[in-house]
Amino acid sequence: MQIRLLGFRDVKSITGLYMSISDEDKILFHPFPFRYLPVFLIILYFAFSNYLYRITGLITRYTVLSLVADNGGPAGFVFVSNIRNLNNQRMAGNFGIFVKKEFRGSGIGNKLAHEMIDLCNQNMIREIHLTVMAHNKRAISFYKKLGFKVIEYHEKREKWNDEYYPDYTMVREEFI
């Protein structure tokens, strides 16, 4: 199993991974355009952002850092985005992770998350925020084990197929 920055060669396979998500699992994500072209373009942007990061080392508010777990094909991926400076401290406003169903419970998600947290630390990103659906108890437990804490509850922020799903905002702060 190799964990590395997501590259252009991964765009089609990661797009395919997203497109294979069951309707049940889609609800665990946030409202998202699960059509091929928008997903492809978003993942292409992730790869382009990583390319710029690799050659310049620079991180801007438009940077999306993303990693892929490669097991002869994508087993999962993780990203942080919306990176900005707040009170002289760099923070990521969005953290997302997905592990292919057959690899869940194998430790890949944990490895991906820790690699991303390490990458954030290397780049002086001291806060990572995420949103998780309130009914996704497994993810909430996972994030808590990574050091995330619930800071807000939202009853009607996320909407999917005309139905609202409550969610939590969680944050992980790194102090050095």
What is the chain's alpha carbon radius of gyration, rounded to the nearest angstrom? Answer: 16
How far apart are alpha carbons 7 and 48 in whole angstroms?
Answer: 8
Query: Is pLDDT larger for residue 8 or for residue 163?
Result: 8
Which tens digits make up the pLDDT trace of 19-33?
A: 888 877 777 766 566
**Predicted pLDDT of residue 175:** 57
Is 90 exceeded by the pLDDT of residue 1?
no
Beta strands in 48-142 (DSSP E): 65-70, 74-86, 89-99, 125-133
pLDDT band at 71 (very low <50, low <70, confident <90, very high): confident
CATH number of the 2-173 domain: 3.40.630.30
Tally of CB atoms within 10 A around 114: 13
Instruction: With CA atoms as reference, report the closest residue to 76 among 36, 33, 112.
Output: 112
CB 53 within 8 A of CB 41: no
Rounded distance between C-alpha atoms, residue 50 and residue 126, angstroms: 19
Among candidate residues 20, 11, 28, 8, the one with its CA nearest the CA of residue 137: 28
Q: Please tell me the predicted confidence (pLDDT) of residue 176.
A: 46
pLDDT at 35 over 90: no
Q: Across residues 98-108, what is the average pLDDT?
A: 91
- The pair of three-digit structure tokens given for residue 6, joined into one six-digit string: 């997501």
CA–CA separation, 65 and 116 (whole Å): 8
Q: Give the whole-angstrom CA distance, residue 16 versus residue 104.
A: 18
Residue identified by tokens 């804490």 is: 149
For 149-165, how does the pLDDT look when each residue is reduced to its tens digit (9 = 90+)? Answer: 999 999 988 777 788 88
Tokens at 175, concatenated? 């102090």
